[in-house]
Amino acid sequence: MIFLATNKRDITIDFVVLELQKRGVPYLRLNTEDITEWQIEFPNGEPSHATFAHDDRSFCLSEFTAAYYRRPLTPEPQGSFDQPVREYIVSEWSAILRSLWTALDSRWLNSPYAIQKAEDKPRQIAIARAAGLKVPETCVTNDFTAAQKFAAAQNIIAKPLRRALLEDPSGPGRVMFTSRVALNAKDQDSIRLAPMIFQQEIAKQYDVRVTVVDDRAMATAIDSQKHEQTEVDWRKGSGVEVEHQKLDLPSDIANACIKVTQDLGLRYSAVDLIQDQDGQYWFLEANPNGQWAWIEQRTGHPITNAIVDALMGTRL
């Protein structure tokens, strides 16, 4: 039996659900925002044999042979409560979920704790270099003098270390895309506010997304250079068609992507590379829980099958 931790709006997990149904594999999709509607018990206070039930369904945690941590959301209490009580309920249910995540331990495709650790981009850079991948010259700093000195030697781009979305309670918020920068004195105060990643800009032929599942590396060339607005960050294209094609990676690059994934403590990752105008590959980052359904739809890469195969191969 497979445990799927996600939310009601996660379309990507639908691909996995359909494949599990096709194979006749039992599963539980737990949309964690609804966990407050479940009844849960830890026998003797221990979560390893936790039982949880909802309507006419009942499960024991020990039944599950594998687990996929996709996009769980914060529990949402049902009913009207004042803010302190609501925060208490959310905190207690969140604690229960963390206990369940820990109890599932080695059954995860990617452990949530491994995902959190793997999101460290400076650590990713060190691991990628050790795996033999080229990495653009990089400076991580909030020191304007250091950033300016770095920028004086080459054309550079800037991107956030972690949070790429500026939320706005009154609107949709703003995404911080990777952008070209040219630093001058007026930037001093803004750069001091928070550290940022500055990197040498590599002239691209393609962006490359490598979806790694265990020992499989499925590469996609993303033709970002056909449109001015997608040249630096292919995600920035609004209303433009960015072509996606399957790509046969050199074996050493594919193996390096697999090694990066493994050295990050993961079995799945979405590795972003650049292919430069000389055909060389450069590592940008690895998303430990990146989206993949659109890649499968656009290219036919069998990512769903690879993930379900991985889950089916995971045993207690």
pLDDT tens for each residue of 152-182: 989 999 999 987 666 667 766 677 788 888 8
Report the C-alpha gap between 277 and 127 in whole angstroms.
Answer: 25
Cα pseudo-dihedral 58, 14, 311, 51, rounded to 10: -10
Report the C-alpha gap between 214 and 9 in whole angstroms.
Answer: 26
Kindly list the distances between the CA atom of residue 296 and the CA atoms of 109, 220, 233, 262, 282, in Å, as whole numbers in the listed order.
Answer: 19, 10, 21, 22, 23
Q: What is the mean pLDDT of residues 254-272?
A: 98
Question: Does pLDDT of 119 surpass 90?
Answer: yes
Classify domain 137-201 by CATH architecture: 2-Layer Sandwich (3.30)
pLDDT tens for each residue of 28-81: 999 999 999 999 999 999 999 999 999 888 999 999 999 999 999 999 999 899
DSSP state of 142: S
Please tell me which residue, 19 or 233, carries the higher pLDDT value: 19
CB contact set of 244 (below 8 Å; sequence gap of 6+) = 220, 221, 222, 223, 295, 298, 299
Q: What is the mean pLDDT of residues 113-141?
A: 97
Question: Does pLDDT of 19 surpass 90?
Answer: yes
* Residue 281, helix vs strand vs coil: strand
Closest CA to 198 of 234, 132, 235, 153: 153
Q: Which fold has domain 111-134+203-316?
A: D-amino Acid Aminotransferase; Chain A, domain 1 (3.30.470)
Question: Does pLDDT of 224 surpass 50?
Answer: yes
Q: What is the mean pLDDT of residues 221-245?
A: 84
* Residue 54, helix vs strand vs coil: strand
Q: What is the band of 229 on the pLDDT scale with cuts at 50, 70, 90? A: confident
Q: Which two tokens stand for residue 286?
A: 């690895």
Where exactly are the structural domains of the chain? 2-108, 111-134+203-316, 137-201
